[in-house]
Amino acid sequence: MSQHTPQQLQIFLDIATEAAMAAGAILKDYWGKLDEVEEKGRPGDLVTAADKDAEVAILKVLKRHVPHHSILAEESGQIGDNQNEYLWAIDPLDGTTNYAHQYPVAAVSVGLLVSGIPMVGAIYNPFRDELFRAARGLGATRNRRPIQVSETSDLSKSLLVTGFAYDRRETSDNNYAEFCHLTHLTQGVRRSGAASLDLADVACGRLDGYWERGLSPWDIAAGVVLVEEAGGKVTAYDGNPLKIDSGRILATNAHLHKHLSTELLQVPPLSGWK
């Protein structure tokens, strides 16, 4: 992997920010005005004109500033060579189900992977006007002020978050057992419906940990950088290095990482649930 100076990373971070803000403005414009909500295939996996137009806005920004980079966009798929060192992983609207119901928990997520490693991320929640930014070695911010993960080191005092993928009706590996197990062991487990914001909330210390399966790189690329730059830890469930394509992620304030990993690996099966 080629080395990047802080100045180069800062330029990429500013591009990510410009793209996220442009898409965020579109999400605000469409708010409450959607004529149609389509299902993409799996039940509950929705797409709207807001997703599509926000993605076009992001692609425009990226094509203007970094035309030689590749892009993995939720609605358009892979754009450009898959051997490219630079890959932007973008989710124009993370939290589409919330958005379609006018539940204002949604965000734009723009991440840059360099040789497969998340290096830069911008997540913008237009409904709270919260902009989360991070680049490797440059720290993490919320509305331009530095953020840090929480100090909680006791699972019984923690507040966690998780989510349930669209294939949850098709598999027993649907995270229901994990959710119940950790609900018993903690002060609570939330389900926000926007993976990027779950990671941003761990990064800024509102939540102590997050795990989920069935995710795509565009859901988490930006948030991984945020959590790590805010002092947290991100791995696979078993503590091994995160594989961005595996769909599974464990992100914590670092203090809870081992405990949470141990619990995720020994979840008792749920009985009586089909």
Residue placing its CB nearer to ligand IPD in the complex, 70 or 174: 174
Using CB under 5 A, which of 17, 57, 87, 94 touches Ca ion? 94
Using CB under 6 A, which of 194, 203, 204, 254 touches ligand IPD? 194
Residue placing its CB nearer to ligand IPD in the complex, 9 or 94: 94
Size of the site for ligand IPD (CB under 6 A): 15
At its nearest, how many Å lie between ligand IPD and the CB of residue 91? 5
Give, as ranges, the residues between 8 and 37 that touch Ca ion (CB under 5 A): none
Q: How many CB atoms lie within 10 A of CB 189?
A: 22
Using CB under 6 A, which of 87, 90, 161, 195 touches ligand IPD? 195
At its nearest, how many Å lie between ligand IPD and the CB of residue 42? 10
Nearest to 106 by CA among 116, 115, 96: 96
At its nearest, how many Å lie between ligand IPD and the CB of residue 14? 24
At its nearest, how many Å lie between ligand IPD and the CB of residue 164? 6
Residue placing its CB nearer to ligand IPD in the complex, 9 or 165: 165
The one of Ca ion, ligand IPD, none whose footprint includes residue 193, by CB under 5 to 8 A per kind, is ligand IPD
> Is residue 193 involved in binding ligand IPD (CB under 6 A)?
yes
Give, as ranges, the residues between 200 and 219 that touch ligand IPD (CB under 6 A): 212, 214-215, 219
Give, as ranges, the residues between 64 and 103 that touch ligand IPD (CB under 6 A): 91, 94-97
At its nearest, how many Å lie between ligand IPD and the CB of residue 115? 25
Strand partners, 90: 73, 110
Residues 6+ apart with CB under 8 A from 239: 250, 257, 258, 261
**Binding residues vs Ca ion (CB under 5 A):** 74, 91, 93-94, 219
